[in-house]
Chains A and B, each alone.
Chain A
C-alpha cells in the first residue's frame, strides 16, 4: 500500500519500470505553452523579411519538400539567425538560473563574476587596438571573460568560496573593468567606438551556420549537464549548512555550477557579444509564471529562447532602423518583468 504525499499543489507522476519522475502540473502546462510560443515565434521569424513567405512554404522548406530559392532563403539565410536566437537565448536563461540559485540572490547573473565586463574588455582591445578579424574577436572575448572569472574566483577563495565574498569581489573587479571599458570607448575615434558599442550591446548580425553549429554543440552538452545538476542546485537554495547536512559537497558543487554558468554565457558572448539581461530576467519570469518556490531550469530556458527570438524579430523588422538585439532584450525583458511585478502585487492585496 502506498501513502500519498501531499505536495500542496497538483503533481503529475510518471512511472516506468526503471524510471519515475514527479512533475508539477502548472509547470508542465506553462512549459508546453512556452514551447509552442517558441515554435510559433520561430516560424514567424522565418516567414518575415524583404521576401515574405507563408507558413506552409516555411514548413515545407524545413522538411525538405521544396528546393530552389524558397529553400535557400529559409534554410541558408534565415534559419541560422533564428536557430542562434533560440539556442543562445535558452543558454542565457539557464546560465542566469544557475547563478541566481547558487548565490541565492535575484540580482546575480554571470555579470557579477565579471564575465561580461571582461569579455567586453577583450573585445574592445581587439576592435580598437588590434583591429582584428571575427575569429580574433571571438578569441579576445573568450580570453577576457574567462581570465576575469578565474581572477574573481581566486581572489574570493579563502578556505572555500562563500557567496557573499564572491559577490563583493565580483563587484570590485567588474567596476574596474567597467571603468577601463569606459576609458577605451572615450579615447577611441567615434566610428570605431560606435562599432565597438554595437558589439557590446549584443548583436546577431552576420551569424552564419559554422558559428551556430560550433556554439550549439557546446551549449547542448552544457544544457545536459545543467539538467543533471538541478537536484543539488535546489539543495543549495536551502543554504550552505542545510545543503551540507543533506550530503551535498557544497564548495565543489558550487564551483561546478559556477563553471557551468560561465561556460554557457561564454559560448554565447563569444559568438554574438554580451546579449544583456536575458540571464537576469528569464529565471525570474519563469519562476513567476510557474509560481514555483525556487528557480527552475526548464521555464528559464524556454523564456530565454522566446525573449531572444522575439527581441531579434523586433530589432530587425519592427524598429525603424535595425538595432542590436541586446537593446531590445533589455527593453522587452525589463518591461515584461515589470508588468509581472505589478500583477503579482495586485494579486497579493
Chain B
C-alpha cells in the first residue's frame, strides 16, 4: 500500500516573518531611490550648476544668480513633486481598494473634472490668469464635485462602488463637455487650459503649497486609518460586516481622504494622470493584497515616478522643458506593461 503523503505547509509563522522582512527590505530600497531622486532633482536642470554651488545655495546662501536658480526654482519644484506624488499615489491606492476596478484612477470620482471645470470657469468667465487665483477654485471644484458624486452614487443602504464609478463618469462627462464648449468658443480660455491640462510642477511658489499641506496630512492619516477595514472589505461586503467593519463609515472616510489628497494635488499641479493609476498596481504586485503595505509602497514609489519624470522632462529637450504630466506616462507605461506581461499580475 502506498503511503498517502500529506505535504505539510511550512510553518505559517516563519512565512509571515520572512515575507514581511522581504517587504521591509523592498521598502528601504524604495526609500533610498526616492532620496537619490530628491538629490538629483536639485542637482540636475536645464543649466548645469556644480554640486558645490548647490551646497552653498542651500546652506550658505548669497546673492549669486545660480544660487537663486536653485533656491527659487529647483528646490520648490522638488518639494512640490514630493508632496503631489505622495498624495496621488495614496489616492490611487484608495480608489482601487474602494472600487476594485483596475480602470479606476483618483480622478474617477469627479476630482479632476471638478478642478478642471472650476479653472475653466475662472479663466474663461472671470478672467483670472495666474495660479494664485485659480488654485482655490480648483480645490473647491474638486471637493464640491466629489460630494455630488458621492450623493449621486449613494442609496439608503450605503454606496455601491459600481454606482459611484458610473456617477463619477457621468458628472465628469457633463462638466467636461461644458468645459470644452467654453474653451472651443473662447481662444483665451483654450490657450490657458491647454497648458494647465498638461499638468506641471514648475512655477508653484512654496507659499501656495503650505496651506494645502494640512489637508494632505488629514488625508494621509485617514487613509492609513481605513486600511484595516479596507483589507476586510476586499473579502466581500458580507464577510467584512461579519468581522465588525462599518461599511458606510469606511467608504465615506476613504472618499474624504481620497478627495483631500487628489483634490489638493490637482489644485497644485493640474491633472497629472497615470501616477495614481499605475503605482498602486505595481505596489500590489510587489507586496500582495495587504492595503497597509500597498499604501506604504505607494507613498515612496509615486513621488519617485513623478520626480524621475520631472528630471527627464528637464533634460531631453534642453533648453526647453516638457511638463511632468506629459512625461509620467512615457516613463511609467513601459514599466507597467513589462510588469503585467512578465509577472503573474493579479486582478483586483
Q: Which residue of B lies closest to A284 (CB)?
A: B166
Q: What is the total of A-B residue contacts with beta carbons within 8 Å? A: 152
The B-contacting residues of A in range 314-349, CB under 8 angstroms, are 319, 321, 323-324, 327-331, 333-335, 337-338, 341-342, 345, 348-349
* A171-B103, A190-B187 known; A337 vs B326 contact (CB < 8 Å): no
Q: Is A65 part of the binding interface, using a Cβ–Cβ cutoff of 8 Å? A: no
Q: Is A197 part of the binding interface, using a Cβ–Cβ cutoff of 8 Å? A: yes
Q: Is A183 part of the binding interface, using a Cβ–Cβ cutoff of 8 Å? A: yes
B181's partner among A112, A180, A323 (CB-CB below 8 A) is A323
* A165-B341, A198-B184, A342-B152 known; A106 vs B336 contact (CB < 8 Å): no
How distant is B207 from chain A, measured CB to nearest CB, in Å? Answer: 27
Q: Is A185 part of the binding interface, using a Cβ–Cβ cutoff of 8 Å? A: yes
B340's partner among A165, A182, A327 (CB-CB below 8 A) is A165
Q: Which residue of B lies closest to A346 (CB)?
A: B155
Complex contact A175–B329 (CB within 8 A): yes
Q: Could you mark each residue 328-348 of chain B with 1 if its beta carbon is under 8 Å from any beta carbon of chain A, else 0?
A: 111011101100110001010
Q: Is A32 part of the binding interface, using a Cβ–Cβ cutoff of 8 Å? A: no
* A190-B191, A334-B177 known; A167 vs B103 contact (CB < 8 Å): yes
Complex contact A185–B330 (CB within 8 A): no
Instruction: State the CA gap A201–B277 with chains docked (Å).
Output: 24
Which of B9-17, B168-176, B291-299 has 4 or more CB atoms under 8 Å from chain A? B168-176
Interface of B is mostly: helix
Q: Which residue of A lies closest to B156 (CB)?
A: A349
Instruction: State the CA gap A107–B162 with chains docked (Å).
Output: 10
A334's partner among B173, B190, B191, B333 (CB-CB below 8 A) is B173
Q: Could you mark each residue 265-298 of chain A with 1 if its beta carbon is under 8 Å from any beta carbon of chain B, else 0?
A: 0000000000001001100100000000000000
Q: Is A232 part of the binding interface, using a Cβ–Cβ cutoff of 8 Å? A: no
Q: Which residue of A lies closest to B185 (CB)?
A: A321
Q: Is B322 part of the binding interface, using a Cβ–Cβ cutoff of 8 Å? A: yes
Interface range, B side: 35 or more
* A179-B325, A277-B173 known; A201 vs B184 contact (CB < 8 Å): yes
* A165-B341, A175-B333 known; A327 vs B177 contact (CB < 8 Å): yes
Instruction: State the CA gap A165–B339 with chains docked (Å).
Output: 10
A338's partner among B170, B185, B337 (CB-CB below 8 A) is B170
- Chain B residues contacting A108 (CB-CB under 8 Å) are 103
The A-contacting residues of B in range 175-194, CB under 8 angstroms, are 176-178, 180-181, 183-185, 187, 190-191, 194
- Chain B residues contacting A169 (CB-CB under 8 Å) are 337, 340-341
* A179-B329, A197-B184, A331-B177 known; A337 vs B273 contact (CB < 8 Å): no
Instruction: State the CA gap A331–B185 with chains docked (Å).
Output: 16
Q: Is A219 part of the binding interface, using a Cβ–Cβ cutoff of 8 Å? A: no
* A182-B197, A330-B173, A341-B152 known; A194 vs B187 contact (CB < 8 Å): yes
Q: Is A176 part of the binding interface, using a Cβ–Cβ cutoff of 8 Å? A: yes
A171's partner among B177, B183, B277, B326 (CB-CB below 8 A) is B277
- Chain B residues contacting A105 (CB-CB under 8 Å) are 101, 103
Q: Is B234 part of the binding interface, using a Cβ–Cβ cutoff of 8 Å? A: no
How distant is A272 from chain B, measured CB to nearest CB, in Å? Answer: 16
Instruction: State the CA gap A50–B274 with chains docked (Å).
Output: 46
Q: Is A242 part of the binding interface, using a Cβ–Cβ cutoff of 8 Å? A: no
Complex contact A324–B184 (CB within 8 A): yes
Instruction: State the CA gap A262–B155 with chains docked (Å).
Output: 36
Complex contact B163–A341 (CB within 8 A): yes
- Chain A residues contacting B165 (CB-CB under 8 Å) are 106-107
How distant is B348 from chain A, measured CB to nearest CB, in Å? Answer: 9
- Chain B residues contacting A178 (CB-CB under 8 Å) are 273, 329
B173's partner among A182, A319, A331, A341 (CB-CB below 8 A) is A331
Q: Is B327 part of the binding interface, using a Cβ–Cβ cutoff of 8 Å? A: yes
Complex contact B347–A338 (CB within 8 A): no
Q: Is A155 part of the binding interface, using a Cβ–Cβ cutoff of 8 Å? A: yes
Instruction: State the CA gap A169–B340 with chains docked (Å).
Output: 8
Q: Could you mark each residue 127-142 of chain A with 1 if its beta carbon is under 8 Å from any beta carbon of chain B, else 0?
A: 0000000000000000
Q: Could you mark each residue 261-288 of chain B with 1 if its beta carbon is under 8 Å from any beta carbon of chain A, else 0?
A: 0000000000001100110010000000
Complex contact B171–A334 (CB within 8 A): yes
Q: Is B256 part of the binding interface, using a Cβ–Cβ cutoff of 8 Å? A: no
Q: Which residue of A lies closest to B273 (CB)?
A: A175
Q: Is B195 part of the binding interface, using a Cβ–Cβ cutoff of 8 Å? A: yes
* A107-B169, A337-B170 known; A193 vs B177 contact (CB < 8 Å): no
Q: Is B308 part of the binding interface, using a Cβ–Cβ cutoff of 8 Å? A: no
Q: Is B167 part of the binding interface, using a Cβ–Cβ cutoff of 8 Å? A: yes
Q: Which residue of A lies closest to B277 (CB)?
A: A171
Interface residues of B, Cβ cutoff 8 Å to A: 101-103, 152-157, 162-163, 165-167, 169-174, 176-178, 180-181, 183-185, 187, 190-191, 194-195, 197-198, 273-274, 277-278, 281, 322-323, 325-330, 332-334, 336-337, 340-341, 345, 347
**Could you list 12 further interchain pairs (A-B, Cβ under 8 angstroms) beyond the known A179-B330, A337-B166?**
A107-B165, A112-B103, A156-B340, A171-B102, A175-B274, A179-B325, A179-B328, A323-B181, A331-B174, A334-B172, A341-B170, A349-B155
Give me 16 A-to-B residue pairs in the complex whose CB atoms sit less than 8 angstroms apart, sorted by A's number. A107-B101, A156-B341, A171-B103, A172-B334, A179-B328, A182-B326, A327-B180, A327-B181, A334-B171, A334-B172, A337-B166, A337-B170, A338-B167, A338-B174, A341-B153, A345-B153
The 9 closest A-B pairs by CB, nearest first: A334-B173, A330-B177, A172-B333, A338-B170, A331-B177, A175-B329, A179-B329, A334-B174, A179-B326
